[in-house]
Structure 1
Amino acid sequence: MEEIKEKAIHSFYNGMNCAQSLLTAYSDYLEFDPKMALSVSAGFGGGMGKMQETCGAVTGSFMVLGIYNSKKYADNVDARNATNEMIERFSLYFKSLHGSLDCKTILNCDFKTREGEREFQDKDMKKNICSKCISDSVKLIELITKE
């Protein structure tokens, strides 16, 4: 999974949002179309459309878990139920690491304002917080899919 983590972080620093970078990093591993994944996850970065709600690394992880279970279970109900259980576990683990699932709470700034945008840049939150959320998400996906 180190390769997936590196791919996700690289993508994040090269133009993809947090959800896109996480989801597309799994395209080879889970055998799905990375271009479609890029499109589907386009509006989930910055806490869903930069609204700073649910972290994009989290929503990207939820999508990964859905694809994982859709490939594992032939029946949609089984896949959906397994995905919901994994999402619940992922959420508990992620909250224990970052205190919240919400982008604004995790960053403790509103990057929709000039002051918040400046603080985001000055404190290099992309590197110091967001990339850690992505990295931790990959680790949690690995943990949960092996449980």
Structure 2
Amino acid sequence: MLKSRVHEANLRHQRGYNCAQSVVCTYCGLLNMSETDALRAMEAFAGGIAGSGSTCGALCGLLMLAGLKNSNGNPNDRSGRGSTIKLGQQLMTRFKEWNGSTVCRELKGIETGKVLRSCQGCIADAARLAEEMLFDGVFEPYAPRTEGE
């Protein structure tokens, strides 16, 4: 079993990676994607998709990992598409259950002044979900969720 990478994802954010890059770059090597390609692919997802405050970047990164993990990569064979969408829906549902929203500006409390979850917490949650639902049995369990991440 591999050691959990949840903390590593947050360290990337502290080093300047955006939320989406932090999540994808932490696991991209397990899915045959280079870190350089992951950095480039996820760059515009900062600030809730291109700074719009919409879908959380950490969640976007998690959904990209779901596609890399689950898709057959063949546009002419749509047999796996439904299962990838279902997996994405399950990931989004769990993320929202944990955090109260999937929307960056709501999570950060930009309009309400009430922070639902910090960026560090969202990154940790996306990493936990990746390890639990995408890489089940590969990683040792990580510590329980806390707001301080």
The residue number in structure 2 matching 1:113 is none
Please tell me whether the aligned partners of residues 8 and 25 of structure 1 are also in contact (alpha carbons under 8 angstroms).
yes
Higher relative contact order, structure no. (Cα contacts within 8 Å, ≥ 6 residues apart): 2
* Structure 2 counterpart of 1:135: 124
Corresponding residue number in structure 2 for 1:22: 23
C-alpha contact 1:66 1:80 (8 A) present in aligned 2: no
Q: Kindly provide the CA deviation profile for residues 27-53 of structure 1, in whole angstroms up to 9, marking residues without a partner as x.
A: 222221111110010000110111110
Q: Does 1:98 align with 2:99?
A: yes
Q: Which runs of 5+ in 1 are unaligned?
A: 111-115
Q: How many residues align?
A: 132
Q: Distance in 1 between matches of 2:34 and 2:120?
A: 23
Mark the runs of 5 or more structure 2 residues left unpaired by the alignment.
138-149
- Alignment TM-score, normalising by the size of structure 2: 0.78
Aligned sequence identity (%): 27
Task: Kindly state the Cα deviation for residue 2 of structure 1 after the two structures are TM-superposed.
Answer: 4.7
State yes or no: 1:84 paired with 2:85: yes
Higher helix share: 1
Asked whether the 8 Å contact 2:56–2:104 carries over to 1, the reply is: yes
- Deviation, 1:62, is 0.5
Residues 79, 37 of structure 1: CA spacing in aligned structure 2 closer, same or farther, 3 A cutoff?
Answer: farther
